[in-house]
């Protein structure tokens, strides 16, 4: 059969509807040209030596002339025509329908969407720690996987396979004489060549998107997950799986920016608003709270928590209050009965905040002491005839 070069159709001056019809007809004819009544194994051997290289060149030329998206959609339309052929057997029709499913769910995003948009639509798994570890492989398979690679199609039994290992696998017996099987195999090989060549720039963009997404998940694990207890991670994971709000559930590209705090103990120091001015070490329990994290670094930004302070002895009661957190510094107010019938308002400072204030206080005392020493020197200088120091 004479080879038909479909891409030349695009150079003719046709109206848009006529051009589309011609392209569809041309692609449909191209799908079936070169098929024969031989067994699939014999046809495949002949195709490798006589047609594979030419098929690849023709596909690239057609994709260049039509545009990658138009070529892809025209090819899909041609396969749809094949799937609707009433002369096909039930198995052949199933093969063609499986081929259409793969084109719809796997390859279309490669040529129609930006990678960041694809990633932002994919929900994360329930386990964020695991997601951060195997993100690259899973994401690259989801977005850039090329199911049309038929360079190693044979199985142990001698059968031929397209989309191996997927739910849409097409298994072709080596002794099959199906022309539809030959057509689908050639179509897969052509799409593989076109997508591999045409998506080289897109692959770079996808890899960059994957790297950015992985870094976000690494940051999320380092700054959010690492500051959680196992029960908090489990509950937040369960919430992410049922919540429609991306702030809690996140996507494959962006981890959730909100996390719950549940029964979370932390070290603090407390001091009564009135009376004693000495900070006393206390354990504070965040009964329930929320943390918000920065968009890219996932460092904590702010949070609110309802807290409780366990009693230290029988004369005290449990204390209750609220704590505000800014980055890693926490401060709040707690009401606690320290003695019988005596409710006391206490200022609660997270240990990091308390230590920071103490360091500031020590620094302030040192600076005040230095100023005092200087004043004493100058006072002594002016009260005596001795010469004042130059500085």
- 308-354, pLDDT tens digit by residue? 988 877 777 888 999 998 888 888 888 988 666 677 888 888 877 65
CA–CA separation, 88 and 181 (whole Å) = 10
| Structure confidence at residue 34 as a pLDDT band (50, 70, 90) | very low
81, 119, 106: which is closest to 167 by C-alpha?
A: 106
In a domain, 318, yes or no: yes
| Structure confidence at residue 10 as a pLDDT band (50, 70, 90) | very low
Per the prediction, the chain carries an average pLDDT of 76
Q: How many CB atoms lie within 10 A of CB 36?
A: 13
In this prediction, residues 15-43 reach a mean pLDDT of 58
| pTM for the model | 0.51
**Residue that wins the pLDDT comparison between 126 and 291:** 291
Residues 198 and 271 occupy one common structural domain: no
Q: 298: helix, coil or strand?
A: coil
Residue 88 has pLDDT above 70, yes or no: yes
Residues 183 and 103 occupy one common structural domain: yes
Measure Cα distances from 284 to 150, 258, 262, 301 in Å: 61, 21, 12, 20
Residue 110 has pLDDT above 50, yes or no: yes
Q: Please state, for a pLDDT cut of 70, what percent of the chain lies above it.
A: 64
In a domain, 325, yes or no: yes
Hey, which of 56-65, 107-116, 311-320 has the most confident mean pLDDT? 56-65
Residue 48 has pLDDT above 80, yes or no: yes
Measure Cα distances from 367 to 298, 363, 364, 373 in Å: 37, 6, 5, 10
In a domain, 370, yes or no: no
In a domain, 371, yes or no: no
In a domain, 377, yes or no: no
Residue 292 has pLDDT above 90, yes or no: yes
CA–CA separation, 290 and 156 (whole Å) = 55
How buried is 356 (Cβ within 10 angstroms: 0-12 exposed, 13-18 middle, 19+ buried)?
middle
In a domain, 235, yes or no: yes
**Residue that wins the pLDDT comparison between 118 and 98:** 98
CA–CA separation, 21 and 27 (whole Å) = 10
Q: Please state, for a pLDDT cut of 90, what percent of the chain lies above it.
A: 26
β-sheet bridge partners, residue 344: 336
In this prediction, residues 297-316 reach a mean pLDDT of 88
Residues 68 and 151 occupy one common structural domain: yes
Residues 266 and 150 occupy one common structural domain: no
pLDDT of residue 295: 87
CA–CA separation, 325 and 124 (whole Å) = 27
Quick: pLDDT tens for 123-161: 665 555 555 444 444 444 444 456 788 877 777 778 898
Is residue 102 a contact partner of residue 161, using CB atoms and an 8 Å limit?
no
Residue 283 has pLDDT above 50, yes or no: yes
**Residue that wins the pLDDT comparison between 90 and 344:** 90
In this prediction, residues 178-185 reach a mean pLDDT of 94
Residues 336 and 282 occupy one common structural domain: yes
pLDDT of residue 323: 92
Output the CA angle 44-50-53, nearest 5 degrees: 95
| Structure confidence at residue 385 as a pLDDT band (50, 70, 90) | low
Residue 7 has pLDDT above 50, yes or no: no
Q: How many CB atoms lie within 10 A of CB 283?
A: 12
183, 41, 172, 169: which is closest to 98 by C-alpha?
A: 169
CA–CA separation, 167 and 178 (whole Å) = 21
Q: How many CB atoms lie within 10 A of CB 327?
A: 13
pLDDT of residue 37: 52
Residues 209 and 312 occupy one common structural domain: no
In this prediction, residues 9-26 reach a mean pLDDT of 47
Q: 296: helix, coil or strand?
A: coil
Is residue 217 a contact partner of residue 251, using CB atoms and an 8 Å limit?
no
Residues 121 and 149 occupy one common structural domain: yes
In this prediction, residues 50-59 reach a mean pLDDT of 91
Which residue, of 170, 187, 218, is where some domain finishes?
218
CA–CA separation, 190 and 6 (whole Å) = 13
Which residue, of 218, 253, 276, is where some domain finishes?
218
In a domain, 360, yes or no: no
- Minimum mean pLDDT range among 26-30, 226-230, 270-274: 26-30
Measure Cα distances from 304 to 104, 200, 226 in Å: 45, 47, 19
CA–CA separation, 68 and 191 (whole Å) = 10
Which H/E stretch holds residue 204?
A: helix 200-223
pLDDT of residue 140: 46
Which residue, of 159, 185, 218, is where some domain finishes?
218
Residues 72 and 163 occupy one common structural domain: yes
Residues 135 and 236 occupy one common structural domain: no
Quick: pLDDT tens for 234-271: 888 888 777 566 677 787 788 889 999 999 988 888 88
Q: Residue 56 sits in which domain range?
A: 6-218
Residues 311 and 182 occupy one common structural domain: no
pLDDT of residue 384: 61
Residues 255 and 329 occupy one common structural domain: yes
- Minimum mean pLDDT range among 135-139, 170-174, 215-219: 135-139
Task: Provide the number of structural domains found in the chain.
Answer: 2
pLDDT of residue 182: 94
Q: 233: helix, coil or strand?
A: helix
Residues 115 and 91 occupy one common structural domain: yes
- Minimum mean pLDDT range among 112-121, 172-181, 219-228, 340-349: 112-121
In a domain, 245, yes or no: yes
Which residues lie below 8 Å from residue 360, measured CB to CB, with a gap of 6+?
none
In this prediction, residues 352-365 reach a mean pLDDT of 62
């Amino acid at each position: 059969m004479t080879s038909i070069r479909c891409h030349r159709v695009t150079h003719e001056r046709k109206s848009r509807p006529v051009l589309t019809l011609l392209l569809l007809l041309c692609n449909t004819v191209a799908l079936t040209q070169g098929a024969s009544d031989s067994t699939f194994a014999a046809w495949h051997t002949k195709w490798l030596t006589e047609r594979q290289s030419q098929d690849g060149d023709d596909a690239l030329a057609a994709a260049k002339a039509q545009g990658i998206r138009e070529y892809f959609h025209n090819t899909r339309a041609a396969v749809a025509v094949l799937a609707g052929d009433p002369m096909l057997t039930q198995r052949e029709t199933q093969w063609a329908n499986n081929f259409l499913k793969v084109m719809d769910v796997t390859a279309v995003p490669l040529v129609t969407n930006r990678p960041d948009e694809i990633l932002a639509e994919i929900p994360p798994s329930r386990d964020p720690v695991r997601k951060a570890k195997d993100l690259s492989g899973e994401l690259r398979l989801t977005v850039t996987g090329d199911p049309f690679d038929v360079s190693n199609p044979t199985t142990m039994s001698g059968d031929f396979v397209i989309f191996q290992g997927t739910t849409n696998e097409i298994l072709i017996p080596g002794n099959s004489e199906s022309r539809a099987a030959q057509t689908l195999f050639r179509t897969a090989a052509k799409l593989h060549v076109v997508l591999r060549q045409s998506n080289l720039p897109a692959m770079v963009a996808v890899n960059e998107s994957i790297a950015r997404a992985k870094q976000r998940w690494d940051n999320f694990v380092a700054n959010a997950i690492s500051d959680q207890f196992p029960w908090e991670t489990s509950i937040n994971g369960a919430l992410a799986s049922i919540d429609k709000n991306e702030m809690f559930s996140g996507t494959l590209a962006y981890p959730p920016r909100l996390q719950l705090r549940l029964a979370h103990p932390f070290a603090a120091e407390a001091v009564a608003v009135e009376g004693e001015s000495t900070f006393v070490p206390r354990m504070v329990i965040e009964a329930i709270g929320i943390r918000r994290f920065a968009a890219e670094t996932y460092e904590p930004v702010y949070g609110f928590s309802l807290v409780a302070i366990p009693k230290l002895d029988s004369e005290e009661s449990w204390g209750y209050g609220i704590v505000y957190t800014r980055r890693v510094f926490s401060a709040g107010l707690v009401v606690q009965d320290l003695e019988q019938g005596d409710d006391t308002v206490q200022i609660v400072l997270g240990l990091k905040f308390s230590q920071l204030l103490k360091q500031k206080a020590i620094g302030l005392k040192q600076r005040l002491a230095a100023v005092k020493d200087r004043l004493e020197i100058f006072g002594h200088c002016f009260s005596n005839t001795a010469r004042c120091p130059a500085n």
